[in-house]
Amino acid sequence: MPELPEVENVRRGLTKLIVGRKVEAIGTDWAKILVGGLAAFQTALIGATITGIDRRGKYLLLRFDNGVTLVSHLRMEGKYQLVADPAVSHDRFVHVWFTFEDGHELRYHDMRKFGRMQLVETGREEQVVAGLAKMGPEPTAESFDAAAFYATVHKRKAPIKSVILDQSVVAGVGNIYADETLWHGRLNPAQPANTLTRAETTRLHDAIIEILGAATALGGTSVHTFLDATGQRGGFQERLHVYDRENTPCDRCQTTIVKTKVGQRGTHYCPHCQPLRKRKAQ
């Protein structure tokens, strides 16, 4: 958390708030977030103007007019906030701040300090950032090919949940949406991937596109601390069928939702709708 729908909504909010602003100063109280150190960020970005913001998977790509891109990964708790008055004191979770020439300040909050920012030459993101180099297709009908997905799944013995959490298979799926898409696809999270039929894989492929698209449209999922760049909560938490719903009845069959672990990740599913099927590799 945040996953693709949340990061996309952060991108949209930041685009409205900070594109066109010029950096005047940069500060930090936790330099590990800034890969390469504070001085490198100050040298590269002070005097530069933000021209656009893109997203790839769970990464934000802040573009500057001097040919530099700031790659930001929010990890578990990262979030951005724009304040009009830099004199307003930082709370204890503000660890990086960008002051703009017009007096506004973009603050990066991170309770766990796991987020990272990295500077790269624009256009070389995939050559420099390991996570981007291995990134799979975006979960859209245009980019995410069902036949290619089946071919990949067919080669993997790991539980299907672990496979769709692999960012090289499909971009942006995290724990929440893995559980939800598997419920929609009526697949057990622990089912070995190579035992899925082509029809089951196609059903899962379509569910990934549908669920992530719907979550993005609703502003993401706020089950813990997620807020977008404008301070708004998401709305998809009202549509969750299994995630964080252990010991409640399944919306489809009324069987009690179970929580277990798959690949060391907390996992929610319906034992009736999502049975673990004993079968050989397809």
Return the active site residues. 2-3, 58, 265
Please write down the long-range contacts of 274-281, taking CB distance under 8 Å and 24 or more positions apart: 274/182, 274/183, 274/186, 274/187, 274/188, 274/189, 275/188, 276/188, 276/190, 276/191, 277/188, 277/191, 277/195, 279/195, 280/195, 281/154, 281/157, 281/192, 281/194, 281/195
Mutual angle of helices 4-18 and 198-217, in 10-degree steps? 30
Rounded to 10 deg, the angle between the 198-217 and 175-184 helix axes is 130
Strands 23-28 and 94-100: antiparallel
Nearest to 101 by CA among 10, 21, 174: 21
The residue count of the chain comes to: 282
